[in-house]
Amino acid sequence: MKVVEINDVFRTYHDTEVEVKAVNGVTLSFEKGDFAVIVGPSGSGKTTLLNLIGGLDQPTGGEIIVAGHRLSELRPSELIDFRMEHVGFVFQSYNLIPVLTAEENVGFILSLQKWPKEKRKARTQEMLSAVGLSDRHKSRPSQLSGGQQQRVAVARALAARPEFILADEPTANLDSKSAETLLDIMVKLNKDEKMTFIFSTHDIRVMKRARRVITLEDGRVVSDEKVNHR
């Protein structure tokens, strides 16, 4: 089942008199359960493409359909609801709310979605357990290591059972051990919860775990390869 369809999409920026095609005629689709990475040199369009898929940016041409929604047809208020209901985001900077505990950060979107208190608490505990942080549920971000903060961010992204996770350089600020732990967790969640992951990355460790590697250069897809891991 396709969860994302990208049809001949462009995103053009204008820097003074120079036109820059950050995304240049991309056509792709992602299936439920994909564990895919988008790779390429800096400036190739990786983050821009993720932002377009997540409705954080709008294409200047083409069409993006996510979970049956044509993003171009959604009003700004509808896009906010769409992101909250269908997309989980993991950023390299964690983006946790400093004054909230790990438990409160994970449950934040659930509270916005008006989940009942007991159901919200149970799901929050379930996700913190899944990322190995049950014992740190009362800790604030400043009391957690970088790797632990990123694991909280993954738990938060998954809590509301979105259609897919967009992870933009999620291991960029982590040491090797923390990165490997995070990737182990993501692979397990992909397998156990059938969660779809789409990464942008420079990290060879992420690429080694992927089952699909999409390479961008100058905003274009130059290769799209399935990977079979033994």
- Sorted by where each begins, the domain ranges of the chain are 2-226
Sign of the C-alpha dihedral computed for residues 168, 217, 24 and 65 taken in this order: negative
CA angle centred on 92, ends 142 and 176, rounded to 5°: 85
Assign domain 2-226 to its CATH architecture: 3-Layer(aba) Sandwich (3.40)
Single pTM value for the model:
0.89
Please tell me what DSSP assigns to residue 180.
H
Helix (H) or strand (E) holding 65: strand 61-66
Q: Quick one: pLDDT at residue 229? A: 61
Q: Quick one: pLDDT at residue 161? A: 86
Read off the pLDDT band of 227 (50, 70, 90): confident
- Rounded CA gap, 104 and 57, in Å? 28
Sign of the C-alpha dihedral computed for residues 16, 19, 20 and 26 taken in this order: positive
